[in-house]
Structure 1
Amino acid sequence: MKVTVDEDKCCGAGQCVLIAPEVFDQREDDGIVILLDAEPSERLHVPIREATSVCPAAAIVLSETA
């Protein structure tokens, strides 16, 4: 799995950080998402999919890799 984020779309809701803090963080000044791990281990795939589905701005994009 490869994770990308669109900082321009991010509204700073922070749901991704609450669900998958190993993969996402937020900038202190404006709350915009920071991607910590673009290719996370398989154990994190379920929470990352959940974070992607609840993102109100659809700022997280997943690509499944073989």
Structure 2
Amino acid sequence: MCYGIYRRSVILTSRCCAMVDDGMGLSLVPWRPVIEQRLVQQLAATVRGGGVSCEIGRQPGPFL
């Protein structure tokens, strides 16, 4: 599970990823079109196998 603010997309040689800032570091999660509409908004991303699910504007507790 990755919680943070979506900052930008990053194009790697093999795929496109979303850069998520949790206030202590950055995480890369597989990019999906729905994420792009939520630039600088909070999201929670769960990566399972080859897929990713995102919840926009949700947080588990105190956040940034």
- Structure number with the higher helix fraction is 1
TM-score between the two structures when normalised by the length of structure 1: 0.25
TM-score between the two structures when normalised by the length of structure 2: 0.25
Higher relative contact order (CA 8 A, sep 6+): 1
